[in-house]
Amino acid sequence: MGAERKSMVISNEEKRVTAYHEAGHTLVGMKVPNADPVHKVTIIPRGMALGVTQQLPEGDRHSYTKEYLLGQISILMGGRIAEETFLGNITTGASNDIEKATELARAMVCEYGMSELGPLTFGKKEEQIFLGREIAQHRDFSEETAIRIDSEVRKIVTEQYERATRIINENRDTMVRLAEVLLEYESLDGVQIRRIVAGLPIDDTSESTQTGTQQELPGAKEKESSTKPLTPILPPITGGTPAPA
């Protein structure tokens, strides 16, 4: 994730924008099927990023399904959508997300054969050995095909943008709660994120404190044991590689 830049001075407004941006990535990442679990989210600046959402796979991945790649594009779009939906504005903070989403969609069309153009590749890569091993791409398709490729790339990104928008709009209360807690704590781990999304206190200590207060009252212990629901057991989170900033 890079080294923390705690000395970097950020205004409260910019910090709020970052919190909602990263909460957007996180919420969509929690709701998209078959996505890697969200391991951590932070609004403490790291490297060039003002905030980071980190996903870690549960095991080694050697190939990726179309559904997984589409989910990744949705997650990348989540930050931009959260800014626009809850803050009424958009910022340059989503520029890297948009770039990654567009590159991934183009790879799906031109390299992986995951579009309506069929199982074809477009653009032959040539390695220039005597120019520092730079890779150039040779265009081996017509202008008409280029237009269709652009159309397919736009279609993929637009559909996943709309998908992420639906997820955020359907979970508005959770989205606000996640962003506001992130503003307060600045960094959240996977278990804390799951508790927030489930509507539970961020830590078990919150429940323990409330329980201790109730036990001071006569008969509170017996009443609590019969009425208080059990806290759900959250599955462990294991790791692998980081995901979108």
- Whether 192 maps to a domain, the answer reads yes
Euclidean distance between CA atoms 89 and 162, whole angstroms = 17
Q: Is residue 119 part of a domain?
A: no
- According to DSSP, the β-strands at 52-55 and 187-189 are unpaired
Is 238 inside any structural domain? no
The structure tokens listed for 104 are: 């991934």
Q: What is the pLDDT of residues 157-177, one digit of tens each?
A: 999 999 999 999 999 999 999
Q: What are 52-100's pLDDT values in tens digits?
A: 999 998 888 889 999 999 999 999 999 999 999 999 999 998 999 999 9
Q: What is the pLDDT of residues 38-55, one digit of tens each?
A: 999 999 887 677 889 999
pTM greater than 0.85: no
| pLDDT reported for residue 238 | 45
Give the SS3 label for residue 132: coil
Query: Would you say residue 5 lies in a domain?
Result: no
- Domain hosting 214: range is 12-105+158-227
Q: pLDDT tens for residues 139-152?
A: 777 889 999 999 99
Residue 19 has pLDDT above 90, yes or no: yes
Confidence label for 123 from pLDDT (cuts 50, 70 and 90) = confident
Return the CATH number at 166.
1.20.58.760
Statement: residue 233 has pLDDT above 50:
no
Q: For 73, phi and psi rounded to 5 degrees?
A: -65, -40
Q: Work out how many domains the chain is built from and give that number.
A: 1
Task: Please give the positions annotated as active site.
Answer: 22
Whole-angstrom Cα Rg for the chain: 22
d(Cα 91, Cα 14) in Å, to the nearest integer? 10
Q: In Å, how far are 55, 59, 72, 140, 151 from 37, measured between CA atoms? A: 6, 11, 12, 39, 31
**Tokens 């800014």 appear where?**
83
- pLDDT averaged over the chain? 81
User: How far is 45 from 55, CA to CA, in rounded Å?
Assistant: 17
**Domain assignment present for 203:** yes
Q: How much of the chain, in percent, has pLDDT values that exceed 90?
A: 57
Which DSSP category does 186 fall into?
S
